């Protein structure tokens, strides 16, 4: 049997782990999707978000940040009534606030990709964990990114959320060394 990081064994989680998680990501729209989904996940299981991912894509106009930044009260009300997403008022409102801050950051830095990857000098942090208990919930890197995003007006970007985000977006490789994805991701 192929060794995986200790993920729940649902098909959607296995597929996410085996194809996406930890792969260095440089597409601004996808980075915004990951940031929005990680904020929605706060206090919940990641599996609950993955199961609603298509619902989020539909509800949030394919994660088009310009469209989301322009959402008004009617659209927010629609989102809060949409059973395909997590209907938490603070999380929904933060998605609009974050889209607006994201656009400001893109204008300042040229792209969110450029901004984000500058924190790691353009190269992923390659950890070498041998057990799940070694993987931290936060790091100095996530503290730094979180603080800067908050300074720029982002919400639901605490250090734990940001660490999950930078793991997913491949800024850090936190696959266990025994996981078949560890070497695959390191070679990208």
Give the pLDDT of residue 188: 87
Structure tokens at 12: 């959607």
Q: How far apart are CA 147 and CA 51, in angstroms?
A: 30
Q: What is the DSSP string of 13-59?
A: HHHHHHHTTT-----HHHHHHHHHHHHHHTTS-HHHHHTTHHHHHHH
Query: What pLDDT score was predicted for residue 44?
Result: 95
The arithmetic mean of pLDDT across residues 119-134, rounded, is 96
When pLDDT is averaged across residues 44-71 and rounded to a whole number, the result is: 96
pLDDT in the model for residue 4: 61
- Where do the H-state alpha helices sit in the chain? 11-19, 28-41, 46-50, 53-59, 65-69, 73-80, 89-109, 112-118, 140-151, 159-168, 180-186
Contact yes or no for 183/67 (Cβ under 8 A): no
Q: How does pLDDT run across 134-187, given as a tens digit for each residue?
A: 999 999 999 999 999 999 999 999 999 999 999 999 999 999 999 999 999 999
Predicted local confidence at residue 103, as pLDDT: 98
> pTM for this structure?
0.94
pLDDT digits (tens, 9 = 90+) for 11-47: 889 999 999 999 999 999 999 999 999 999 999 999 9
CA–CA separation, 127 and 103 (whole Å): 31
Domains of the chain are 11-186 (1.10.340.30)
């Amino acid at each position: 049997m192929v060794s995986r990081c200790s993920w729940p064994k649902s098909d959607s989680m296995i597929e996410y782990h085996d194809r996406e998680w930890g792969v260095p990501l440089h597409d601004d729209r996808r980075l915004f999707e990951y940031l929005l989904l990680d904020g929605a996940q706060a206090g919940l299981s990641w599996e609950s978000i993955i199961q609603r991912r298509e619902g989020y894509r539909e509800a949030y106009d394919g994660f088009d940040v310009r469209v989301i930044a322009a959402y008004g009260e009617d659209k927010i009300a629609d989102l809060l009534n949409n059973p395909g997403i997590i209907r938490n008022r603070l999380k929904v409102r933060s998605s609009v606030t974050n889209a607006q801050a994201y656009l400001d950051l893109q204008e300042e830095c040229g792209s969110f990709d450029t901004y984000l990857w500058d924190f790691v000098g353009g190269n992923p942090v390659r950890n070498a964990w041998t057990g799940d208990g070694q993987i931290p919930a936060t790091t100095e890197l996530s503290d730094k990114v979180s603080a800067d995003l908050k300074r720029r007006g982002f919400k639901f970007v605490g250090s734990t959320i940001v660490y999950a985000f930078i793991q997913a977006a491949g800024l850090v490789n936190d696959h266990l060394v025994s996981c078949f994805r560890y070497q695959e991701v390191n070679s990208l």
